[in-house]
Structure 1
């Protein structure tokens, strides 16, 4: 769809309704544990078990007036392996797609990222490791038959109310039979978060996903710019962070991206 007043109002209404339902269901941030978890949840290299789910809408694909929607399920599980200084983080991304271009719905390809991380100094974490792309798509329009493998790395600084850093990945195909199955994808996700303070529990967040597909001759880059807000609450006894984000794609097929995130923090580790 074209970005019009009515379309913006529709998206705002959807996200406002979702946020309101979360507020009604959850108690406001009120204890020291939630304050600490709120800070840790902003760091993708933190040693916490979590289950983020992203609801993404991409508007006006290739100036067609049609939208693509995706639910991204991203379980994150840290693990230890006998080192006092290093620890591991396993992170999967499982996409459930509902596309108007192409007109297909189903499961896309799964990404599995295994990072070995360490505390470089207080407040500064670094990590690197292998990443794999697994052909789990339910039909050929939603993924590639090739397996992919590559490298990932990240650096995150927590300083006062700021959390700043970035995550980068590079994946190539390992068994592509033809050019259509080639994989040569680079991603970079900058991280800029600002905590407004313990009493409010609100955080400004900007985590756009920049993608370059080097198998394409033209239009290789997808570059969104924007941000949003998140809040840490409880549903029952479970800490949950949630919030909306909006991004303008200055390069790429989509015009705008509307994102709503819900992240459950699970006990363990």
Structure 2
């Protein structure tokens, strides 16, 4: 009986070790995919940029973004739809105006590159003038293209980029047209147990007026998996290394909570 009891304990211990190993693997996989903008799962993000000082005004500003992503299929092709809506607080004279900004939607066609750890997609984007007042939006319709890459081949380090271009084609004749290229390189270094270091600045260049912004920064994040939901908290201070034109951030704090809903 003692031998059987010891054997049972040994089997249970082995099962516990295997279960813990699988849980660790699941946690590592969740952490590796938590920042994938093309992940094959529904996602909802709440992200905030607190801009401590803007060029030209030396005043602060804030952009709070709500983002929803939904994968879908057309025939045998796979796509991802992402909709982003900001709530902006911008300085206007001696006060600040707050309101809903312009809605941006893009759809990315996902290409099979032969490596399931690598996500690659491109497609069209559209920005609609949905702002509640002229001080927090562009009053312009814009359209363009996006291209996204995310490489999670390594559980230790993931990287990629989001490249976009859009140009205004309709809207208020009293507002300046936009023709903007934006490049967001990003890298995530996993420290273990869901904690990671991150960098995800957005570099913008306006082809219409030659204005640009080049921030750099490094932050920290924490990924927590609970049943079928992945919670991704992060904060990332960023500082401008080059800029031209008014309204560019001298420094800002990028923070947020990203939610992914597993199938």
Kept in 2: contact 1:152–1:170 (CA 8 A): yes
Are the aligned partners of 1:45 and 1:156 in contact in 2 as well (CA < 8 Å)? yes
SS in 2 for 1:188: strand
Separation of aligned partners in 1, 2:27 and 2:168: 41
Q: TM-score, normalised by structure 1?
A: 0.80
Q: CA deviation at 1:119?
A: 2.8
Structure 1: which 5+ runs fail to align? 1-29
2:87 aligns to what?
Answer: 96
Select between 121-130 and 232-241 the one with higher mean Cα deviation: 232-241
1:226 aligns with 2:220: no
User: Which residue in 2 is equivalent to 1:36?
Assistant: 29
Deviations for 1:80-123, whole angstroms, at most 9, x for unmatched residues? Answer: 2231xx41111111110122356211011111011011230222
Larger Rg: 2
Aligned counterparts, 1:31-180, within 5 A: 31-62=24-55, 64-83=57-76, 86-101=77-92, 103-122=96-115, 123-160=117-154, 161-176=156-171, 178=173, 180=175
- Checking the alignment, whether the CA contact within 8 Å between 1:34 and 1:239 is kept in structure 2 is no
Match of 2:240 in 1: 249
User: Aligned equivalents of 2:146 and 2:45: distance in 1?
Assistant: 19
What does the per-residue CA deviation read over 1:137-156, in whole Å, with 9 as the maximum and x for residues that have no partner? 01111112221111111222
SS at 1:106 equivalent: strand
Count of equivalent residues = 233
| In 2: Cα distance, 1:159 partner to 1:32 partner | 14
Q: Secondary structure at 2:112's aligned position in 1? A: strand
C-alpha RMSD over aligned residues: 2.0
Distance 2:218 2:35 in 1: 14
Q: Do the aligned residues in 2 keep the contact of 1:66 with 1:101 (CA within 8 Å)?
A: no
Corresponding residue SS for 1:190: strand
The Cα of 1:192 is off from its aligned counterpart by 0.9
Q: Following TM superposition, by how much is the alpha carbon of 1:59 offset from its aligned partner in structure 2, in angstroms?
A: 1.2
Give TM-score, length-normalised by structure 2.
0.81
Question: Separation in 2 of the partners of 1:237 and 1:168?
Answer: 30
**Structure showing the higher strand proportion among its residues:** 2
